[in-house]
Structure 1
Amino acid sequence: MTGHGRSRLGGAFAGVGLAAFVDEVVFHQLLHWHHFYDKASSEAGLVSDGIFHAFGWAAMVAGVFLFADLRRRGSLVKPAWWSGFCLGLGGFQLYDGTFQHKALELHQIRYDVDLTPYDWTWNSVAVLFLLVGVVLLVRTRRRR
């Protein structure tokens, strides 16, 4: 894999890790809006949050290790890394908002409220990150 591809992959891992971290800390722990899995007891929800947190942490560690290795080798391509970061963050958030929230119904953003503004905001932010990632991807490919 080239420096561009590895940079993009490292950024994608870091983007997924950050999206999972913010989701877990803000919506699960601070606001108490939901757990990763809300179809069972609170204890099961807490266990699912722990597994989700470990997944996000592992993604971030992988992204940081790739970033450090690329810098050490002198092959880090920062625009490609940022492209991967935005694509990873936006892709994970859109996957969460559509597949996990709607298709699998693992949880919702909030309960006992009209979900429309929450869903639109959540998925619009995801699409915005994806668009920025695609623009950066196209720009880095043109420069090569």
Structure 2
Amino acid sequence: MEKSSGLQHRPGRSLWVCALLGAAGMAAVDEIVFHQILAWHHFYDRSTPSVGLISDGLLHTAELVGLVAGFALFADLLRRRALSTAHAWAGLFLGLGGFQLFDGIVDHKLLRVHQIRYGVDLLPYDLAWNGAGLLLLAVGAVLTVRARR
């Protein structure tokens, strides 16, 4: 733990709590924008539309549990005055990018549970999706290095 102004900061916990919030937040963006508003895909598209809708509900449930747990843990860090702001920002970006890249590589390409969109050339979508994930991860990595200094 680092000490600052007599307070016990928790850099590791700050990073991981905010990474949880970032991953859950990106899952929410994916669910709301791509599953509901644009209706490009469901979380699991290899079955009936009903199964796809159920899988979206399960993803939404997991994302909400992640957000509630993350905010409770974040509030605890604030209450204890243990939040390391620099590590928290790093964790947020690592979580955002981590979810995005995991979804793009594991869900889309390895497991093939769904694609970003159907009936189109996937290459531009894959490049944009995974590129955004890499960019968010890179920002998180840079912020992590800066926070450790």
**Same structural fold, with TM-score higher than 0.5 when normalized by the shorter chain:** yes
Residue identity in the other structure for 1:100? D
Determine if contact 1:8/1:85 at 8 Å carries over to the other structure: yes
Residue 62 of structure 1 and its aligned partner are, at CA, apart by: 1.6
1:133 Cα offset (Å)? 0.4
Residue 38, structure 1, aligned to residue 45, structure 2: yes
Q: TM-score, with normalisation over the residues of structure 1? A: 0.96
User: 2:68, 2:12 → 1: CA distance?
Assistant: 18
Give, in angstroms, the shift of residue 79 of structure 1.
Answer: 1.0
Asked whether 1:82 is paired with 2:89, we answer: yes
Q: Residue by residue, what CA displacement relative to the aligned partner does 1:43-93 show, whole Å, maximum 9, x if unpaired?
A: 000000000011111111121111100000001011101111110110111
The question of 1:105 aligning with 2:112 is answered yes
Contact conserved, 1:9 with 1:63, CA < 8 A, in 2? no
Distance 2:107 2:121 in 1: 18
Amino acid at match of 1:119: D
Residue 136 of structure 2 is aligned to residue 129 of structure 1: yes
Bigger strand share: 2
Runs (4+) off by over 2 Å: none
**1:69 and 2:68 aligned:** no
Cα RMSD after superposing both structures: 1.0
Give the length in aligned residue pairs.
Answer: 142
Higher helix share: 1
Q: Residue 61 of structure 2 aligns with which residue?
A: 54
Gaps of 5+ in 1: none
* Higher radius of gyration, 1 or 2: 2
